[in-house]
Chains A and B, each alone.
Chain A
Amino acid sequence: MFYVIFESTRSALISIFAHGLRSFLTTLGIVIGVASVIAVVSLTQGMSAFIGESFSSLGSNSLTIQSYTPIAEQMRGVRARLTPEDLELIERRGESIASITPILYANRTSQIRYAAQTTFSQIMGTTYAYSEVSQSYMLLGRFIAESDNLTRRRVAVIGEKVREDLALPENPVNEYVELGGEWFKIIGLLEPKGDIMGFNQDDIVLVPYSTMVSLQGNQARTDIQIQLSLSEDADVEDVTRQLTALLRNAHDLGPDEDDDFVINTAEQLMETFDTIINMVTLVIGGIVSISLLVGGIGIMNIMLVSVTERTREIGICKAVGAKRHHILAQFLIEAMLLSLLGGLIGLALGYGLGTAISSSIDSFPPASIPLWAIALALGFSGFVGVLFGILPAAKAANLDPIDALRYE
């Protein structure tokens, strides 16, 4: 058996390379199919790996609590809110909380002006604890202090992107910017963090929470976000359960009413992203693998032509003693090798393509191919070769030696 495979492989290789161009064109469908599958997989997997890293830098034991109103409720004009009282409640009664900070987003305008430059950014009111919860560190100057909040100081910490957009000097500390009609003094510049999924984490302006509250005026409708980080040994699920109970109680929710808030963990967020990316991989991969099928049909076509073309040769081989399985093995192995070679070329091409795309788009993470994708691509292309090689090979093996010898 091994001998037959070995000899068939030898003659298949000779035949493939004897018609170099034709072999290449035959397998082009497989090349393109595998290349696109690998390119897609390498990009999405690269992204997935990158997201995993970014989120683990956020710390898996940080939680975000937001108000949540179902759309049906929103239509009726109802809006759930998280209030400063909720914050206080959690501060007082929450377990295993290392640090906690409210975040209040600017609700009127997010326009910032410096001299003649104007830009829009994400403006958030928060406290000194934000630095720890979100793991933001200073490049220059200082972060918002407790006293800034107590005295509602008009000070701001900005991200690198905002500094660039406003054409502020390299060291923007002590410059003044205009936010919602008020002048704020810049006290610090955050260390750049880069992008997550196209969201620039450096496009950010932080002001003291109490300053933001006073800017917004109508405190009855304040809806805040609460971010907190847990102590090292805390169990995220336990804390989530406890906080849910606390807030449900505070919001007077009956047993049959849904939560009017959501508690997100970084881990959850990561899982959501992973699920989305895997879905995308699967769907695109599925669509692209149709091209592998088409490639397989191309191989079958050429193999059928090749059997007809070599009918006389097959007859000669049979006359000098080739058995059915010799001829079968020869054509089957030729189809499989053709397909497998296409798969290998496609693999290299797809990886190159993925790397080229990811490096030509700045914000894209580097491409990475998981081993299973390589195995799958090669396995699948080999399988396609066998699947579509069987028919021509059987046709060749079943030829009658007399007819085959007579064939012109």
Chain B
Amino acid sequence: MSSVDESAAAKDAGEDSVLIRMQDIRKHYEMGSQIVRALDGISVEIGRGDWVSFIGSSGSGKSTFLNILGCLDRPSGGEYFLNGVYVEELGANQLAEIRNREIGFIFQSFNLLPRATALGNVMQPLVYRRISYRRRKEMAMEALRRVRLDDRMDHLPNQLSGGQRQRVAIARALVTEPSILLADEPTGNLDSRTGAEIMQLFDQLHREGQTLILVTHEEDVAGLGDRVIELLDGKIIRDRRAGEPLH
């Protein structure tokens, strides 16, 4: 818990402009006698308010990177500071707390709780923060308003369209006011028009100062951010400004 407090202290002590600092992050799996190097020495810094896209084909280590970035998994080696907190030293419960406070997840397949309404889904992260029901409801309604879904609050996920579901997921990610929004192929399950709407929403959030990290394999989606980082075989092969020509 103490390291989380430290992060709060670091926040107060003057905005460190670097939010994420990764140094030589590796993730190795043993598969029988073989060692699979899913990540093989990733070093990257991401500043507050940046919009960074990670791009790579399947098998490039994207998902592993995302899991480590999102504190769902721990690297086998290297250093990872998130908002001033040295993540590797944290236990499972502290990681859960970091996920709750610092990170808002947005998944390709939305990952909403099927038996909870849109409102209930958005309220869920706040349950783990000891916030009263009434206050949770207010905060969730506010978040749904931000994604312009306040007229669908009482609908279950299966009563919503794909775009609406993804907006519920974004509201759920926003409601905790996280340092980073972490989106994994957010438009992968949407048609192009709805996908564009979601990207517009991201653009708006970015302009409001939200740090955004996108993981995708679509060049069009990646190109909307400030910065594009290409992964291949667990290594960064290119780190460029968006809009720069590929070759």
Contact = CB atoms under 8 A, between A and B. Distances in A.
B136 to A, nearest CB: 10
Given A18-B115, A312-B111, A324-B93, A319 B130 contact: no
Given A319-B70, A321-B97, A405 B128 contact: no
A402 B172 CA distance: 19
Interface in A320-341: 320-326
Contacts of B111: 312, 315-316, 319, 405
A246 interface: no
Contacts of B176: 320-321
A14 interface: yes
B99 A319 contact: yes
Nearest to A325: B93
Interface in B88-122: 92-93, 96-97, 99-101, 105, 107, 111-115
B127 A324 contact: no
B96 A318 contact: yes
Secondary structure of the A side of the interface?
Answer: helix
Given A7-B127, A405-B111, A320 B92 contact: no
Contacts of A402: 67, 72-73
B163 interface: no
Contacts of A3: 130
Contact of B124 (A15, A317, A325): A317
A320 B114 contact: no
Contacts of A312: 111
Nearest to A10: B133
Nearest to B115: A18
Contacts of A323: 92-93, 96-97, 128
Interface residues of A, number: 22
A326 B176 CA distance: 18
Contact of A313 (B99, B114, B125, B129): B114
Contacts of B128: 320-323, 326
Contacts of B101: 321
Contacts of B99: 318-321
A320 B115 contact: no
A317 B129 CA distance: 13
Nearest to A317: B124
A102 B184 CA distance: 100
Contact of A319 (B92, B105, B114, B129): B105
Interface of A: 3, 7, 14-15, 18, 312-313, 315-326, 401-402, 405
Interface of B: 67, 70, 72-73, 92-93, 96-97, 99-101, 105, 107, 111-115, 124-125, 127-130, 172, 176
Given A316-B111, A402-B73, 14 more contacts: A14-B115, A18-B115, A316-B113, A319-B70, A319-B72, A320-B124, A321-B125, A323-B92, A323-B93, A324-B92, A325-B93, A326-B128, A405-B107, A405-B111
The 9 A-B residue pairs with the shortest CB-CB distance in the complex, in nearest-first order: A321-B100, A320-B125, A321-B128, A323-B96, A323-B93, A316-B111, A401-B72, A3-B130, A321-B99
